C-alpha cells in the first residue's frame, strides 16, 4: 500500500523555490473555507492592500493570479497583446526569451533586442530600437533575470518606453520583496511576480499589478482575450471591490492563506529592511566565495543580490558537486540555464533563506565538496571572510 509522502528537509538555495517560513506553512494548514465566504473576501481585500505595499503602487488592479509566476507572465501578455501588435522584448537571459514566446503565441510581432547574458539591459539599445520601430505598442523586460543574476534599471527603461508612447510589462519574479520594486515611481504599466522566491511562500500564486493606462488598454481591446481563465475583464468580477463577487473560479484558499501570512511578515520586517537584509547576506556570501577563489559573472554594479551566478572552477563536474551537496548536506543550489549551462552555479539567498546560517552552510559545504574533487580553491579562509563581512 502506498504510504503518505514525507519529504526530506532541504535547505533551498537555488533559483527557487526558496525555503518557506514556518509561519507560512502553519497558515496554509488552517481550515479551508469557501472562496465566496465573507471572511475569505476580507482576506482577499487584505492581500490586495499588502500587495500594493510590496509593489509600491496604488494600482487598484493588484491581485494574485491563481497559478505560478509563469501564469502571471501570461496574464500580462494575453491581456495586453493583440494580433499584429509590435512588442519590443529586451532579452538578457532565459526569461526574456519566454516573454518573446508569449508575444508570438498571442499573435504579436516580437522585436527582440538581444543583450549580453550576465549584463544589465542597455537603455541606449532600447532607445535606438524605438526610434527604428515607432509603431511599437509595448516594451517588455525582466527586472531581475533569474537565469544570470543580473538586475536592470527598470525606472530608466520605463521612462524611455513611456516617452515613445509604449506600455511596459515588467518581470519582477525574483526581485519582489528582495530588492527595490517601485511600480509607481518607475511608471511601470504592468508587472508580475511569484510567491516562491523573496516572499518565502510556497509556489503556486503569481502577484500581478496593472495601472490605469494598462486597464484602459485591456478594456478597449479590439479582440477578445485569448484565455478565458486569465481574462482580467472576467477575473475582476471576483477580485473587485465590495462584498458582492461574481464567481469566476475556485480560488486556492489555503495557498492564499500562505500569501497573506507572507505579506504580513514582509510588513512586519519592512520593505527597506528586507532589501537591506538581502544586501548584507549577499555581501557575506560574496566575501566567502571570493575567499575560496570563486568569481561572479555579473559586474558588481549590475548584480542581483538574491540570485548569485558563480563561475565553476576549471575541471570540476558541476552536476556532481550539486548532487553531492544535496545528498551530503541536503543543500540545493541551481545549475546554469541556456548559454550558461555547465558554466555557472546559481546560488539563491531569497526571503526566509537569506540569513547568515545559510551563508555559512553554503560556503563551508562548497569548500568541503570542492576539496574532495581536488579543485583549485583557497582552503580554511572563507569562514573568517564571512565573519569580517558581517562585522
- Please give the Cα distance from 200 to 47 (Å, whole number): 15
User: pLDDT of 282-304, one tens digit each?
Assistant: 999 999 999 999 999 999 999 99
Residue 242: pLDDT over 80: no
Q: Which residues pair with 255 in a beta bridge?
A: none
Q: How far is CA 219 from CA 144, 213, 223, in A?
A: 29, 10, 10
Domain boundaries, the chain: 22-267, 271-390
What CATH number matches the domain at 22-267, 3.40.640.10, 3.30.830.10, 3.20.20.80, 2.40.50.40? Answer: 3.40.640.10
Q: Which of 13-22, 47-56, 96-105, 231-240 has the lowest mean pLDDT?
A: 231-240
Looking at residue 243, what is its pLDDT? 66
Looking at residue 241, what is its pLDDT? 76
- Please give the Cα distance from 355 to 284 (Å, whole number): 10
Q: Which of 222, 250, 212, 266 is nearest to 47 (CA)?
A: 266
The pTM score is: 0.97
How far is residue 45 CA from its own chain's centroid?
Answer: 23
8 Å CB contact between 303 and 149: yes
The topology (CATH level 3) of 271-390 is: 3.90.1150
User: pLDDT of 306-349, one tens digit each?
Assistant: 999 999 999 999 999 999 999 999 999 999 999 999 999 999 99
Q: Which of 67, 11, 76, 38 is nearest to 259 (CA)?
A: 67
Amino acid at each position: 500500500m502506498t504510504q503518505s509522502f514525507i519529504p526530506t528537509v532541504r535547505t533551498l538555495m537555488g533559483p527557487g523555490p526558496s525555503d518557506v517560513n514556518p509561519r507560512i506553512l502553519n497558515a496554509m494548514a488552517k481550515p479551508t473555507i469557501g472562496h465566496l465566504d465573507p471572511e475569505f473576501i476580507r482576506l482577499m481585500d487584505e492581500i490586495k492592500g499588502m500587495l500594493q505595499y510590496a509593489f509600491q503602487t496604488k494600482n487598484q488592479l493588484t491581485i494574485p493570479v491563481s497559478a505560478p509566476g509563469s501564469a502571471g507572465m501570461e496574464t500580462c501578455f494575453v491581456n495586453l497583446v493583440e494580433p499584429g501588435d509590435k512588442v519590443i522584448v529586451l532579452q538578457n537571459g532565459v526569461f526574456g526569451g519566454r516573454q518573446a514566446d508569449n508575444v508570438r503565441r498571442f499573435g504579436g510581432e516580437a522585436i527582440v533586442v538581444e543583450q549580453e547574458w550576465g549584463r544589465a539591459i542597455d537603455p541606449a539599445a532600447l532607445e535606438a530600437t524605438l526610434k527604428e520601430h515607432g509603431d511599437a505598442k509595448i516594451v517588455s523586460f525582466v527586472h531581475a533575470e533569474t537565469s544570470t543574476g543580473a538586475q536592470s534599471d527598470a525606472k530608466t527603461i520605463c521612462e524611455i518606453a513611456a516617452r515613445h508612447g509604449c506600455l511596459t510589462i515588467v518581470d519582477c519574479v525574483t526581485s519582489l520583496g528582495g530588492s527595490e520594486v517601485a511600480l509607481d515611481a518607475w511608471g511601470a504599466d504592468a508587472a508580475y511576480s511569484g510567491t516562491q522566491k523573496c516572499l518565502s511562500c510556497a509556489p503556486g500564486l503569481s502577484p500581478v499589478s496593472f495601472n490605469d493606462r494598462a486597464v484602459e488598454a485591456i478594456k478597449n481591446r479590439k479582440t477578445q482575450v485569448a484565455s478565458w481563465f486569465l481574462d482580467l475583464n472576467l477575473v475582476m468580477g471576483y477580485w473587485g471591490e465590495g462584498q458582492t463577487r461574481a464567481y469566476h473560479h475556485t480560488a486556492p484558499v489555503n495557498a492564499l492563506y500562505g500569501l497573506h501570512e507572507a505579506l504580513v511578515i514582509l510588513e512586519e520586517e519592512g520593505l527597506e529592511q528586507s532589501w537591506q537584509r538581502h544586501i548584507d547576506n549577499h555581501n557575506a556570501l560574496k566575501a566567502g566565495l571570493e575567499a575560496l577563489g570563486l568569481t561572479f559573472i555579473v559586474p558588481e554594479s549590475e548584480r542581483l543580490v538574491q540570485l548569485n551566478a558563480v563561475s565553476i572552477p576549471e575541471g570540476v563536474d558541476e552536476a556532481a558537486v550539486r548532487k553531492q551537496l544535496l545528498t551530503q548536506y541536503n543543500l540545493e543550489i541551481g545549475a546554469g540555464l541556456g548559454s550558461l549551462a555547465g558554466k555557472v552555479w546559481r546560488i539563491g539567498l531569497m526571503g526566509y533563506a537569506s540569513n547568515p546560517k545559510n551563508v555559512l552552510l553554503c560556503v563551508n559545504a562548497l569548500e568541503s565538496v570542492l576539496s574532495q574533487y581536488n579543485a583549485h580553491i583557497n582552503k580554511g579562509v572563507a569562514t573568517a571572510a564571512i565573519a569580517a563581512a558581517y562585522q
